[in-house]
Amino acid sequence: MGEMAAGIAHELNQPLAAIANYASAAGRLAALQARGSTDTDGELPLALTQIGEQALRAGEIIRTLRALAQNRQTQREFVDVNELVEEVLRFARSDLRLNEVQIITEFGVGLPLALLDRIQIQQVLLNLLRNAIEALAVKPRERRVVQIRTSCDDTQRLLIEVTDDGPGASEDLVTRMFDPFFTTKETGTGLGLAISRTIVRAHRGEIYHRAVSTGGASFVVELPGPSGSGE
């Protein structure tokens, strides 16, 4: 987390430095205008718009951090992952409805409980769901589907798979998507998958992308079963 904090500080510095620069330029332009010169190129509104956009970007980075790396003690408890998925779907209900995304669930039967921090893993799943919803934005409304599947392997590790049939990810994208601050979205922070990986690994689990034949993207969250670690 320390390494990531340094990266985050650096990333936050950029919009803040840009805000300072644009603000000082705006100040200069405003002073010139006060003295009667005309802003023919519309530079002042441009600087002000930039200030607004950069502030939003800084806010977005902070919001993502707050949601994912909540400042609280981790609390491990035994959790039914099917229940956990149901909870996450309830949280995401309005987002799903708004974007007309249909959910298909396939819940494993008789799964062991997982020892995990409920809130942290909810955030990981919510982030996957949000990414899926965003990926599906390019598809016609009637064909936006996300599949969520739970299962366990023969070592009692729990698997939660979130699969969308959006445009998917190229090989190059797959190798970089978990890097902190890597994003292909105009307003993305590129922190979601990186922080999710930190969280899941702190649970002695793993999160990875898996190619799917239908061309969409699929993410698997693997978590230790009731022994908590597989030790």
> Residue 172: CB partners within 8 Å, gap ≥ 6?
none
Q: Does 201 bind ligand ADP (CB under 6 A)?
A: no
Closest-CB residue for ligand ADP? 192
166-170, long-range: CB < 8 A, 24+ apart: 166/132, 166/135, 166/136, 166/137, 166/138, 166/139, 166/216, 166/217, 167/135, 167/138, 167/215, 167/216, 168/135, 168/211, 168/212, 168/215, 168/216, 168/217, 169/209, 169/217
Binding marks (x or -) toward ligand ADP, 123..152, rule CB under 6 A?
----x---xx--x-----------------
User: At its nearest, how many Å lie between ligand ADP and the CB of residue 177?
Assistant: 4
Q: Does 47 bind ligand ADP (CB under 6 A)?
A: no
Q: Does 185 bind ligand ADP (CB under 6 A)?
A: yes
With residue 215 as reference, give the H or E element that holds it: none
Q: Does 177 bind ligand ADP (CB under 6 A)?
A: yes
Three-state DSSP state, 225: coil
Q: Does 190 bind ligand ADP (CB under 6 A)?
A: yes
Q: Does 193 bind ligand ADP (CB under 6 A)?
A: yes
Cα distances (Å, whole numbers) of residue 230 to 32, 101, 107, 113, 185: 68, 36, 23, 13, 37
Comparing CB distances to ligand ADP, the nearer of 25 and 130 is 130
Find the binder of ligand ADP among 7, 108, 188, 228 (CB under 6 A).
188
Find the binder of ligand ADP among 47, 161, 192, 224 (CB under 6 A).
192
Count interface residues toward ligand ADP (CB under 6 A): 22
Comparing CB distances to ligand ADP, the nearer of 50 and 147 is 147
Cα distances (Å, whole numbers) of residue 213 to 52, 90, 152: 42, 29, 22
Residues that bind ligand ADP (CB under 6 A): 127, 131-132, 135, 164, 166, 168-169, 173, 177, 182-185, 188-194, 217
